[in-house]
Amino acid sequence: MQYVTRFAPSPTGPLHLGHAYSAILAHDMAMAENGRFLLRIEDIDRERSKPEWETQLYEDLEWLGLWWETPVMRQSERLPAYRQALDALWQRDLLYPCTCTRRDIHEAASAPQEGVVHFGPDGIVYPRTCHHKIGMPQSLTPMPEDVALRLDMSLAAIQIGEYRVCEGEFLYFTETGSGPDGETGQIEFSPDDLRTKVGDIVLSRKTFLGSYHLSVVLDDAAQGVTHVVRGQDLFEATRIHVALQRLLGLPTPVYHHHALVRDENGKRLAKRDDAKAIRKYRAEGATPADIRRMVGL
């Protein structure tokens, strides 16, 4: 099997040193294995994605000396694939509509009867407020439009076990990098952990079809990605992605979670950190070799 990596930026701001590190690492790992390096534009959020940022990221990546195959996959052109997957999950009664705001979720999770507020990869573990409103099986009604759709993680855990698509009672993925606590090798976790530590995640939003968790597993499978290279901040989300891969019958890539590039205060970089933007270093006369040295490559 050919070695395939990808870099999947969102055109919602400038690329910074952290992006450069991830992109260069994925590119170099593929080249070292005589493999393929792919680029994917994660522009599913049409309100925040801007053409000028997309143009800038192409220029920055080319300046860094990276080469990728064309045509480039764009999430905005894959909405039918996301809808098909959502329809399939809806027919299995794995989705339900949710009208809660972030404030609603915080207030419900903070209620005295709920005890300690639990946090997962997506923030507060959803207290299933809207799930309690479900009457008849969801599959007996049309999938609603313009409303958030959540994955019923309790039922998902049961279905994963029933289909026996994992060894024993565990799900697992292979980690060649390192998790935040140094995890490497075969990472095992129970499907039931998803219910208590992750909760009913959003798989489609009111403002746009799909979500990061859904699109990333579908896109990786469609592109034949064999090795996912990304930051340690997404290590916990990988458990969600492995569960979705099992539910949707998709292959699970090998994962390589790399350390995060941080500023002088130890804070991880974000797109709002314009001071660390690649375009700024370019304007100041830096070379691609300088960027590699800055990020430890």
- The CATH number of whichever domain residue 286 belongs to comes to 3.40.50.620
Region 173-196: what's the mean pLDDT?
A: 88
- 96 burial class (0-12, 13-18, 19+ CB within 10 angstroms)? buried
Token look-up 């049409």 returns 46
**Same domain for 295 and 241:** no
**pLDDT score at 122:** 87
Are residues 116 and 71 located together in one domain of the fold? Answer: no
**Is 55 domain-assigned?**
yes
Lowest-pLDDT range of 27-41, 188-202, 260-274, 276-290: 260-274
Number of domains the chain is built from: 2
**Residue 165 or 227, more confident:** 227
Q: Output the average pLDDT for the chain.
A: 88
- Cα(79)–Cα(66) distance, integer angstroms: 28
pLDDT > 90? residue 250: yes
Residue 197 lies in a domain: yes
Whether 66 and 94 map to the same domain: the answer is: no
Q: What CA–CA distance (Å, rounded) separates 272 from 173? A: 32
Q: With contact defined as beta carbons under 8 Å apart, do 265 and 7 qualify?
A: no
Distance CA 237, CA 8 (A): 16
Residues 64 and 132 in one domain: no
Cα 44 from Cα 35, distance rounded (Å): 27
Q: Are residues 63 and 170 in the same domain?
A: no
Same domain, 192 and 179: yes
The pLDDT, as a whole number, for residue 131 is 87
The structure tokens listed for 236 are 């916990």
Orientation angle between helical segments 79-91 and 212-223, nearest 10 degrees:
110
| Nearest alpha-carbon partner for 138 in 149, 128, 127, 146 | 149
User: Whose CA is closest to 40, among 18, 61, 63?
Assistant: 61
Exposed/middle/buried for 193, CB within 10 Å: 0-12, 13-18, 19+?
Answer: middle
Range of the domain at 272: 1-77+261-297
Residue 12 lies in a domain: yes
Question: Exposed, middle or buried: residue 160 (CB in 10 Å: 0-12, 13-18, 19+)?
Answer: buried
For the record, the structure tokens of 200 come out as 């009913």
Determine if the peptide bond prior to 127 is cis (ω within 30°).
Answer: no
Residue 208: predicted pLDDT: 85
Q: What is the model's pLDDT at position 169? A: 62
Query: Does this model's pTM top 0.75?
Result: yes
Residue 77 reports pLDDT greater than 50: yes
Q: Are 177 and 255 in contact (CB under 8 A)?
A: yes
* Greatest mean pLDDT among 18-27, 104-113, 160-169: 18-27
Question: Is the domain of 65 the same as that of 89?
Answer: no
**Assigned domain for 228 exists:** no
CA distances, 247 to each of 19, 63, 67, 80, 252 (Å): 30, 40, 34, 19, 11
Confidence of residue 138 (pLDDT cuts 50, 70, 90): confident
- Token pair recorded at residue 36: 């393929």
Q: Is residue 2 part of a domain?
A: yes
Please give the pLDDT value at position 165: 46
* Model confidence band, residue 166 (pLDDT cutoffs 50, 70, 90): very low
What span, in angstroms and rounded, lies between the C-alpha atoms of 26 and 281?
21
- Residue 268: band (very low, low, confident or very high) from pLDDT cuts 50, 70, 90: low
Task: Indicate the DSSP class of residue 96.
Answer: E
Percent of the chain with pLDDT over 90: 60
Same domain for 112 and 247, yes or no, is yes
**Helix 153-163 and helix 235-248, axial crossing angle in degrees, nearest 10:** 60
Looking at the structure, tell me whether residues 267 and 246 fall in a common domain: no
**pLDDT at position 113:** 60
- Determine the angle formed by the axes of helices 212-223 and 235-248, rounding to 10 degrees: 70
Question: Are 248 and 202 contained in the same domain?
Answer: yes
The predicted pLDDT at position 168 comes to 53
Q: What is the pLDDT of residue 160?
A: 83
Is it the case that residue 266 has pLDDT exceeding 60? Answer: no
Same domain assignment for residues 12 and 117: no
